[in-house]
Chain A
């Protein structure tokens, strides 16, 4: 298989070694953010390392070194300091998904056996009952007034500054560093144990594959492994300035204010960026001119000619500044968006990962990429396709699900982690994701249907807001199923229509789709839902909840 040239990043064995390593960047900016009034704040690598060390010493001094500590907060500088301090002092950072309901947040903290919680003011009250019930021993508020007996994070960091050196914690690369939760699209959220080696090796390997440049921007949640490893940890290892954003309302504003070279995103964010670009073109009154240039470029490309006019790039620079790279993951990227942004000199690099693999498994490269694929497999990581399923082996595969050896055993075959995703690798080594095995509808005749593929077609019907395709029993026997679609109609589009009208209209549209599908994939039953589907924080339908 083709080998692609790699960059040469630093590799670290554990988070304590990482903090020592980051000191070499000195006064270079590490984390930058904007407050509500657009005021810019930043911390240098020296300041970041000092805060991390002080908090780490304070944790050890308070008997919390090596313990499980949950972080319940929006993206912010102190989230990063907390994470690095917990892990570099030998503890386990429990990264809580804050988009979950209050009860689930508390459940996650309990499930991961956290002894301490560091919460932002928004989540302090939600976590307080755990303290009252003595389920946790310390509840630390990130900023603002703490209760009399409970600490404030700033005070804790300050107290650590005056503590003399504490004994160096013994950290093995295979010790658990973080507990993160799976997104729970196909099953209930499971706590995943990721080791120091898992996270740090994956972050460095992502840098070996992709040049993320020296100034990145991210709005990805840090409590997901994608945001943590591929937007924060790899940026720090690279010595980059990382502009962070914790509120999607100000995402575009901060992106434009910070003027980064690279944007770490999910496809929907990349799409929003493209809309911002066109809004700028519209305001400049250059829509026709730009459309013609793109048309010319596309036409010449068909003949293998590269159109070297820099007008489109200059227009992009006026609107989006020096942004050159958009890295996307977490969901399938429409290849058209990749082509469209590339016309303006923005390279879209799509990758693929899963929480259990820390998360990155494959990613396109700056110079070797293929839209529609998720790129070559990450260096150091091996991928095998078994019955169309993607299996992974390498330093990035998790230690296991926390306190759930049965579930862990189910997903491992020896050293190979079974992702549950379907894919194929082409002759150039590029991986393409074709579906998800856990959602597969398996028919009695052995044929398998990927519901996502049919859902994508049904979603194009204007009457449909959301759809779930599943296997329904034919009534002949329990394992004899046929594809069915459960549809939540778009309330605006069906206003004034009776249920009968809606169903009739939907059936007509589905018949048109069925004609385009092989008979075994044709939807044979349609039903209408009155309630919206339950969704995960990444807006995917929770299939298990239906």
Chain B
């Protein structure tokens, strides 16, 4: 799952080498519009809708993976 998330983040932001602990704001220096752009890519890839109120709970890459797991997203 991490590899897939890394790929999507790279496609949207051009940032490589993110880890589970990478913080979107602190480490990747993204603003709220950038984060929304990544969320849009996740929505498209996994065909789900991520409500805006859920987006603000996502701070680091591990949060994305745990959120997707919680939503029952299957990456296979």
Contacts and interface: CB of A to CB of B under 8 A. Distances in A.
Interface of A is mostly: helix
Interface string B1-28: 0000000001111111000000100100
B61 interface: no
Contacts of A271: 31, 33
Interface of A: 248-253, 268-269, 271-272, 275-276, 278-283, 492-493, 539
Contact of B39 (A249, A280, A492): A249
Contacts of A251: 33, 36-37
A275 B14 CA distance: 9
Contacts of A268: 31-33
A280 B26 CA distance: 21
Given A268-B31, A271-B31, A249 B36 contact: yes
Given A268-B33, A272-B33, A281-B14, 18 more contacts: A248-B32, A248-B52, A249-B37, A249-B50, A249-B52, A250-B40, A251-B33, A251-B37, A252-B40, A253-B37, A253-B40, A268-B31, A268-B32, A271-B33, A276-B37, A279-B15, A283-B14, A492-B26
Contacts of B13: 275, 279
Nearest to A253: B40
A279 B31 contact: no
15 contacts: A248-B36, A249-B50, A249-B52, A250-B40, A252-B37, A268-B33, A271-B33, A272-B37, A275-B30, A279-B15, A281-B14, A282-B15, A282-B16, A492-B23, A492-B59
A250 B12 CA distance: 12
Contacts of B44: 253
A280 B10 CA distance: 10
A276 B11 CA distance: 10
Interface of B: 10-16, 23, 26, 30-34, 36-37, 39-40, 43-44, 50, 52, 55, 59
6 interchain residue pairs of minimum CB distance: A282-B14, A279-B14, A272-B33, A252-B37, A249-B40, A249-B36
Contacts, number: 56
Contact of B12 (A248, A279, A492): A279
A279 B10 CA distance: 8
A269 B37 CA distance: 11
Contacts of A272: 31, 33-34, 37
Nearest to B13: A279
B15 to A, nearest CB: 7
Nearest to B25: A492
Nearest to B30: A275
A39 to B, nearest CB: 13
Contacts of B31: 268, 271-272, 275
Contacts of A281: 14
B70 to A, nearest CB: 19
Nearest to B43: A249
Contacts of A278: 14
Contacts of B15: 279, 282
Contact of A269 (B26, B30, B33, B40): B33
A230 B41 CA distance: 29
Contacts of A250: 40
Nearest to A269: B33
B34 A275 contact: yes
A275 B25 CA distance: 13
Contacts of A492: 23, 26, 59
B47 to A, nearest CB: 10
Nearest to A270: B33
A492 B26 CA distance: 9
Nearest to A276: B37
Contact of A280 (B14, B23, B43, B52): B14
A268 B33 CA distance: 7
Contacts of A539: 32
B37 A283 contact: no
Contacts of B43: 249
